[in-house]
Amino acid sequence: MTATPAPELGSLAAIAACVRTGERSARAVLATSLERVRELEGDLHCFNEVTIEAAEADADAVDRIVRSGLDPGPLAGVPVALKDNLCTVGIPTTCSSKILAGWLPPYDATVVSRLRDAGAVAIGKTNLDEFAMGSSTENSAFGPTRNPWDLGRVPGGSSGGSAAAVASGIVPLALGSDTGGSIRQPAALCGIVGVKPTYGVVSRYGLIAFASSLDQIGPFATTVADAALALEVIAGHDPMDSTSLDRPAPSLLATLHDGVSGLRIGVVADFLSEESECGDAVVSAAEALAAAGAKVDEVRIPELLLGLPAYYVIAPAEASSNLSRYDGVRYGLRVDGPDAETMNARTRGEGFGPEVKRRIMMGTYALSAGYYDAYYGQAQKARTLVIRAFEAAYQDFDVLLTPTTPSVAFPFGSKVDDPIEMYMCDLCSIPSSLAGHPAASVPFALNPEGLPIGVQVLAPALGEAVMMRVAASLEASAPRSARGPVTP
d(CA 104, CA 269): 47
Q: Smallest Cα–Cα separation from 35: which of 149, 123, 148?
A: 123
d(CA 408, CA 155): 10
Q: Which residues have CB under 8 Å from 362's CB, separation 6+? A: 312, 313, 316, 317, 320
Report H helices in 352-456: 354-367, 378-393, 419-423, 430-435
Strand partners, 173: 80, 221
Catalytic annotation on 158?
yes
Catalytic annotation on 83?
yes
Report the C-alpha dihedral over residues 460, 466, 472, 477, rounded to 10 degrees.
-80
Name the 3-class secondary structure at 331. coil
What is the chain's alpha carbon radius of gyration, rounded to the nearest angstrom? 21
d(CA 66, CA 58): 13
Candidates 33, 96, 136, 158; catalytic one: 158
Candidates 97, 177, 182, 429; catalytic one: 182
Angstrom CA distances, 313 to 135, 308, 359, 374, 445, stand at: 17, 9, 9, 11, 33
Candidates 33, 83, 135, 473; catalytic one: 83
The letter for the amino acid at 213 is: S
Give the residue numbers annotated as catalytic, written as ranges.
83, 158, 182
